[in-house]
Amino acid sequence: MVSLPPNLMQGIFLVQSGRKVEALAYLRHAARTEPVGPEGWLWLAAATDDLEEYRYCVQMALQLDRAHAVARQMRDDLARRGIPVDLPPDNGAGIGVAERSLPYRGTRRRRILLAVMVLLLLAAVLGVIYVVTMTDVLSDAVDEVDQALSGTETTIRVGSAPSFRFRVDLPESWMAADEDSGGWQSTRTALEDDFPAPGEGGGVLEQVDESFSAVTRDPVYGAVQPNVRLVNTDRVALAAEGMVATLTLQEILPLPEVDAGEDPTVCNRLGVLQRRSQDDAATDGSEVIASGLIERDLPQDCVFFVHRRFPIDSFDQNVFLLDPDRAPEAMRAIAIVVPVGAERYALWWLTYADEAAEAYQDTLDGILETLEYVPDA
């Protein structure tokens, strides 16, 4: 009898016992670290309630075994629901662990990107009247054609097939660091002239931006790859603080289940995250400044945050120092969690220099009050 890897074995046992929520953690970890094979991917599909994750698992199983009868039946069921499972041409090669973090690839993705960008451009044109007469909102970061984010309310779209749209109020000096945007490119070039890289090599601002339209969400682990950022472009602040202040989207994950007997509202499910954060003792040398669950529009609209102070060299996310020789000694990092529909949440990080904490308080308050997921109409 073939022995299964330990996490896969435990996950299968929990699914068979009807404990799918507990099984997910084991099966997702197994998919990332163990040779699960097509059967393992199908067990993960059986455990998840996330349709996107289910489709991805079926795709992975078929990439490993195109003739797998159960996987083919699951693919056909998805097709009848209007959810295609496309596979790359069969060249006789399997898929390796290193490829699992890149679920959307090839010409299909490019076609989808092109179609999405065309639709977004049309939507932006139709929305001009509303933008001019009602708000300063830009249609989204992908469609900012050669212009900076000039209003206080900013809407961005990241990724494609599926894409995620968020809206937030920010000071006018903040911009989406989208390398597809002409406005951002010209601003970045001007900033690089003011803040040249010390020594040889490119400046730190070259590391800040990404192509928002090329971003994907790993359907199994939730990571937004690569991270997307909104950044403060104010020259005075950059010179004084020595680092680039950023608001970064890092992950989109399933909401946890509530305790037995508790009403499973979005806000209550975010409350589970709040309790978990309080139970976790800080082991990274940080100081907790504040934390809490803010109820904005019950029962579905809440935001959870943890505000911490870190030594500049101990924060484990990207920190963009303009000149390492003039780096601040400490920084603020605020984890901000907002709902994404009824089943997921997005993890954002707001980071800035510790000495500028008072200057960023209004920015933080505005983000906590307004950062939200915007479903497509």
Question: How would you write the pLDDT of the chain (377 residues) with one tens digit per residue?
Answer: 457 888 898 888 888 888 888 888 889 888 888 888 999 999 999 988 888 889 999 999 999 999 998 899 899 889 888 888 887 665 444 333 333 433 333 334 444 555 566 566 656 555 543 433 333 332 333 333 233 333 357 788 877 656 788 999 999 999 999 988 888 888 888 888 888 766 555 567 778 888 888 888 887 778 888 888 999 999 999 999 999 999 999 999 999 898 888 898 888 998 888 887 766 545 566 888 888 888 887 667 899 999 999 998 888 788 888 887 888 999 999 999 999 988 899 999 999 999 999 999 999 999 999 999 988 76
Instruction: Tell me the CB-side half-sphere exposure of residue 125, using CA atoms within 13 A.
Output: 5
Q: Confirm whether 60 is domain-assigned.
A: yes
pLDDT of residue 99: 36
pLDDT at 296: 83
Q: Are residues 130 and 95 in the same domain?
A: no
Do residue 92 and residue 201 come from a single domain?
no
d(CA 117, CA 172): 25
Domain identity same for 252 and 339: yes
Beta-sheet strands, E only, within 121-190 = 153-159, 163-169, 174-176
Is 253 a member of any domain? yes
Helix (H) or strand (E) holding 369: helix 361-370
Residue 155 counted as domain residue = yes
Nearest partner of 181 among 156, 157, 148, judged by Cα = 148
pLDDT for the residue numbered 317: 81
Q: Does some domain include residue 106?
A: no
77 and 109 Cβ atoms separated by less than 8 Å: no
What residues contact residue 253 under an 8 Å CB cut-off, 6+ apart? Answer: 222, 344, 345, 347
The CATH number assigned to the domain holding 344 equals 3.40.1000.10
123 and 205 together in one domain: yes
State which of 100, 135, 150 marks the end of a domain.
100
Residue 107 within a domain: no
Instruction: Assess whether 63 and 139 both reside in one domain.
Output: no
Domain count, the chain: 2
pTM (predicted TM-score): 0.64
Any idea what the CATH number is for the domain that residue 69 is in?
1.25.40
Both 207 and 353 in one domain: the answer is: yes
Q: Assess whether 217 and 327 both reside in one domain.
A: yes
Determine, yes or no, domain membership for 12: yes
Checking phi first, is residue 266 left (phi over 0); if not, alpha (psi -120 to 50) or beta? alpha
Enclosing domain of residue 18: 6-100
Residues 92, 133, single domain; the answer is no
192 within a domain of the structure (yes/no) = yes
Q: Are residues 214 and 315 in the same domain?
A: yes
Q: Assess if residue 110 is contained within a domain.
A: no
Looking at residue 94, its pLDDT comes to 38
Are 69 and 215 part of one and the same domain? Answer: no
Instruction: Please tell me whether residues 127 and 275 are part of one structural domain.
Output: yes
- Residues forming a β-bridge with 156: 166
Between CA 177 and CA 242 the distance in angstroms is 18
Are 85 and 127 contained in the same domain?
A: no
